[in-house]
Structure 1
Amino acid sequence: MKHLTLLIGLTLVSFFLFTAYNLIMKASRFRNIDVSNNCYATIVTAYYKIKSKHSSDQYFNWMKNFLSLQDCMVVYTTEDLVTQIRELRPEGYPLEIVTRPLESFKVAQMLDFNGWTKQEGLDSELDVGHSRELYWIWNEKTALLHEVSQVNPFQSDYFAWLDIGAIRQSSNNRERLMNNFPFQKGILLLEILPFSEEELVLQNGTSYADFSKVNRIGGGMIGGEKEEIQKWFNIYYSTMERYLREGRFVGKDQSVMATSCLETNLCLLVPAPNITDLLGRHTTDKDWFFLQSFFRGDVKILPKRQNINNIFYIS
């Protein structure tokens, strides 16, 4: 009887300890930082005048919103745009501008002229403004994010790529974007739609799923710590080089991201909600800018780690 009582007691203690641990872990899945430390995170972005479905005037309107943010920023661009970018940035806000020609990008040098011509020929969306220069910028995001995390000009702990045209509204101008961070380390990305059962199948650890005509991952924002970005850098460009060897289309960075997520445990995914119309009704369109709400702290959503079901898993 005494042993039974002891066993019951230990069971109850274990249950309460597990419950308490579970609650503590869930409560601490987000890191809210000291508001006086604007440089806890660095935002990395780029702007190059290339053929696009949006005009340069439209981009500069969006850039006014982007560059008004208090966050520490690194902007990659060309020499002729430095003055315009500086003029859009409020005086005293942290900013580093790195000038670099598109042709010097890591991705631009992965193929010769004829190779990129062939890639353009594989693009089913070439008529909407796509080009090799756009492929270079899309696929260089990880390299630029990696470079800034290594140099770390503002001594930050966290780094995020954000497309410079992604701040479409002025409602959060002159505020700080980077306030809320996942507890677990990893590469934070937006999940547009979940992977299908067929896409989840790996052959000896390799994914052969075709993401060229479907959207699974949003590429407009990428977040992570220095060590995780280093891992992501390695896997991303290894995946891209395999795409090229296999003669696959690499112009869509979201495809390379999707494959990289499936083949690793690096990705922390935040599901994109459906957009509501003016009457508040849900549409079938996804909010491609939802990670901004996550990082601002407007929503408290637990990112899910791709390929890991254990909520207590810590990388």
Structure 2
Amino acid sequence: TKMIEVQSTHAKLPSATNLLQRPNPPPYDDSDIIKLSPDLITSENTVVTAYFRVASKFKPDKYTRWMSNMLSLQDAMIIFTSPDLVDQIQQMRQHARNRTVIVPLALQDLPIGKLHTADFWQTQLDRDPER
């Protein structure tokens, strides 16, 4: 397994190449995927993004405004988010129902969510001089 060493934390992170080549199935079932329209259009470009609530120096309302702006794009999107945010994401993508796919899952089910403990992330937040 190829690993990348991060100097500031001495954590060993899996390389993107390694993550993409793993034979592991994705952490969700196809039946979990939410298509906002039964007739999705094909697109030359698709934005893949994620929106999860995590501890941050910014209040959730600020992230909601940022995501509202991002999700207002006309582009086709695949959006990974936690189940409790699905309704909010659907509302923000009403203008693009025929080019939106939402994948609800817990952040902890993704490879990045398993790299560190909650204590690690809290320490990172505490170190932020802008918080």
TM tier relative to shorter chain: 0.5 to 0.7
Please state how far the C-alpha of 1:38 moved relative to its aligned partner.
7.4
SS in 2 for 1:45: strand
For 2:100, give the aligned amino acid. L
Q: Tell me the CA shift for residue 77 of structure 1.
A: 0.7
For residue 126 of structure 2, what is the aligned residue in structure 1? 126
Any residues of structure 2 matched to 1:208-219 within 5 Å, and which? none
TM-score (structure 2 length as normaliser): 0.55
Instruction: Note the C-alpha offset of 1:108.
Output: 2.9
1:75 has 2:79 as partner: yes
1:226-245 matched pairs, under 5 angstroms: none
- Contact 1:38–1:71 (8 Å) recurs in 2: no
* SS state at 2:47 partner: strand
Secondary structure, aligned partner of 2:94:
coil
Question: Larger C-alpha radius of gyration, 1 or 2?
Answer: 1
> Which amino acid in the other structure matches residue 100 of structure 1?
L
Cα distance change of structure 1 residues 117 and 92 upon mapping to structure 2, 3 Å threshold: closer
Deviation per CA, 1:158-215: give whole Å up to 9, x if none: xxxxxxxxxxxxxxxxxxxxxxxxxxxxxxxxxxxxxxxxxxxxxxxxxxxxxxxxxx
Q: What does residue 103 of structure 2 align with?
A: 98
The answer to which structure, 1 or 2, has the higher relative contact order (CA under 8 A, 6+ apart) is 2
CA distance in 1 between counterparts of 2:61 and 2:86 reads 16
Q: Given that residues 50 and 80 in structure 2 are in contact (C-alpha distance below 8 angstroms), is that contact kept between their aligned partners in structure 1?
A: yes
CA deviations on 1:239-284 (whole Å, 9 max, x unpaired) are xxxxxxxxxxxxxxxxxxxxxxxxxxxxxxxxxxxxxxxxxxxxxx
In structure 2, what is the Cα distance between the partners aligned to 1:118 and 1:89?
A: 33
Q: How high is the TM-score relative to the length of structure 1?
A: 0.25
Shift of residue 85 of structure 1? Answer: 0.8
Deviating beyond 4 angstroms after TM superposition, the runs of 4 or more aligned structure 1 residues are 116-121
Selected match of 1:89 from 90, 93, 113: 93
Query: How far did 1:110 drift?
Result: 3.7
Hey, what does 2:47 align to over in structure 1? 43
2:72 and 2:93 in contact (8 A); partners too: yes
> Do the aligned partners of 1:77 and 1:101 also contact (CA within 8 Å) in 2?
yes
Contact 2:51/2:79, CA 8 A, preserved across alignment: yes
Match of 1:63 among 63, 67, 82: 67
Backbone CA RMSD of aligned residues: 2.8
| Structure 2 alignment gaps of length 5 or more | 1-40
Unpaired stretches in structure 1, ≥5 consecutive residues: 1-36, 130-315
